Amino acid sequence: MIAMLVTTTEHIPGQTYTIIGEVFGVTTQSKNVFRDIGASLKNVVGGEVKDYTKMLNEARQASIERLKTNATAMGADAVVMMRFDSGSIGTDIQSVAAYGTAVKFD
C-alpha cells in the first residue's frame, strides 16, 4: 500500500503545489457463479446483494492503489480532485476507474 495523500478537494490546506497532470487507476473484475446465484435470489426477494457490494468496494480500493502507483511514477506527492467512474462491460464484467490530478508540493 503506497502512502500518498489522495483527496477529493481541489486545495490541500497549508500546501502549495505544482500540477503535474492527470492520473488514472483502473481495475476490471468479473462476477463469479456464486455471486450470480446470490444476485438472482436477491432479484426475487429484494435487498442488498452483499457480494456485489463487496466486489465494488474491492474494485474501488484496487483502483485507488493503481492511481497512487501511477502518481508515484509521475513524481507526484499527492492527488487532488479524485473521482470514481464505473460501468459494466457486457453482463459479467464491472470496471472502476479512479482519476484525479497529480501534484508536486512546492
Cell numbers that stand for 20 in this block: 503535474
The predicted structure's pLDDT at residue 55: 84
Three-state secondary-structure class, residue 35: helix
Q: Is pLDDT at 36 greater than 70 in this prediction?
A: no
**Model pTM score:** 0.82
How far apart (Å, rounded) are the C-alpha atoms in residues 48 and 33?
17
The structural domains of the chain, ordered by start, are 5-105 (3.30.110.70)
How far apart (Å, rounded) are the C-alpha atoms in residues 65 and 50?
23
Residue indicated by cell numbers 450470480: 36
Average pLDDT value for residue range 54-78: 95
- Per-residue model confidence as pLDDT tens digits over 9-31: 999 999 999 999 999 999 998 76
Contact predicate 98/83, CB 8 Å = yes
- Type of residue found at 20: I
